Amino acid sequence: DAKTTQPTSMDCAEGRAANLPCNHSTISGNEYVYWYRQIHSQGPQYIIHGLKNNETNEMASLIITEDRKSSTLILPHATLRDTAVYYCIVKMYNFNKFYFGSGTKLNVKP
Amino acid sequence: GAVVSQHPSWVICKSGTSVKIECRSLDFQATTMFWYRQFPKQSLMLMATSNEGSKATYEQGVEKDKFLINHASLTLSTLTVTSAHPEDSSFYICSARYSRGGYREQYFGPGTRLTVT
């Protein structure tokens, strides 16, 4: 699986958009980009995933660059409850295993 | 979304004893489940893949005789930490693979905090 690089931590003001970047320069053509988050002392929660096109759901938007070497997770209106560690994972759709990197600790501040 | 539960949510045991942690998929059947371990301020580390009706496959460096995995039914996998020691104290998380038609997703349990004294 391709490796990912994320900033260690980020701050965001409550109510503003949180933009979390992820680099995956060695991604292969059949690998998807997944985003999960982990609120303190809980299990990871699925957010969104995509292959090439930008994706949006009720939680977030995923923007994938045209060359697919990087992506950005956007939380449009961050709240204090969005404070968590966000993990960007790259894997093939049918490949079962998830290997977590170090993630980005997002601190949403009032 | 699908729900995965774990029991217990936390457990304290004495060094040398064994502890069993259960992982259940509540509203779907999961032929494959996964076990992770997470130390404080670290990321999740995949320990093993639990396959219903067959032996688990372990990641490199994980002692299979210490971490016994049993996936006896389509909704239950158990992880037994045998002869636990303080260094086994960790947050153990399971996940279950939901598969329906061409759709696949993986759902995580809430985790079990193990403290070995």
- pLDDT tens-digit readout, B33-89: 999 999 999 999 999 999 888 899 999 999 999 999 999 899 999 999 999 999 999
Position with higher pLDDT, B33 vs A2? B33
Least confident of A72-76, A101-105, B22-26, B27-31: B27-31
The whole-number pLDDT of residue A1 equals 58
The whole-number pLDDT of residue B24 equals 96
Q: Which residues of B touch A42 (CB under 8 A)?
A: 110-111
Q: Is the pLDDT of residue B117 over 70?
A: yes
Q: Is the pLDDT of residue A2 over 70?
A: no
Residue A27 CA to residue A4 CA, distance in Å, equals: 9
Answer yes or no: are the C-beta atoms of A83 and A39 closer than 8 Å: yes
The whole-number pLDDT of residue B1 equals 66
CB contact under 8 A, B109 and A43: yes
Percent of chain A whose predicted confidence (pLDDT) is above 70: 98
The pLDDT confidence band at residue B105, using thresholds 50, 70 and 90, is confident
Q: What share of chain A is helix, strand, coil (3-state, %, to 5)?
A: 5, 50, 50
Q: How many helices (H) and strands (E) does chain B have?
A: 0, 11
Residues paired with residue B35 on neighbouring β-strands, in sequence order: B48, B94
CB contact under 8 A, B43 and A103: yes
A95 touches chain B (CB under 8 A): no
- What backbone torsions phi and psi does residue B87 show, to the nearest 5 degrees? -70, -10
Q: In this structure, what token pair is assigned to residue B94? A: 């399971």
pLDDT digits (tens, 9 = 90+) for A13-33: 999 999 999 999 999 989 999
Quick one: closest CA in B to A39, which residue? Answer: B110
Residues A77-96, buried b or exposed e (16+ Cβ, 10 A)? ebeeebbbbbbbbbbeeeeb
What is the distance in angstroms between the Cα of B14 and the nearest Cα belonging to chain A? 22
Contacts of A49 (CB under 8 A, 6+ apart): A32, A33, A34, A35, A55, A62
The whole-number pLDDT of residue A34 equals 94
Quick one: closest CA in A to B58, which residue? Answer: A97
Contacts of A60 (CB under 8 A, 6+ apart): A35, A47, A48, A73, A74, A75, A76
The whole-number pLDDT of residue B100 equals 80
Amino acid at B80: T
The whole-number pLDDT of residue B65 equals 95
Block residue for tokens 């942690």: B21
CB contact under 8 A, A46 and B1: yes
Partner residue facing A96 (CB), from B97, B107, B111: B97
Q: Is the pLDDT of residue B31 over 90?
A: no
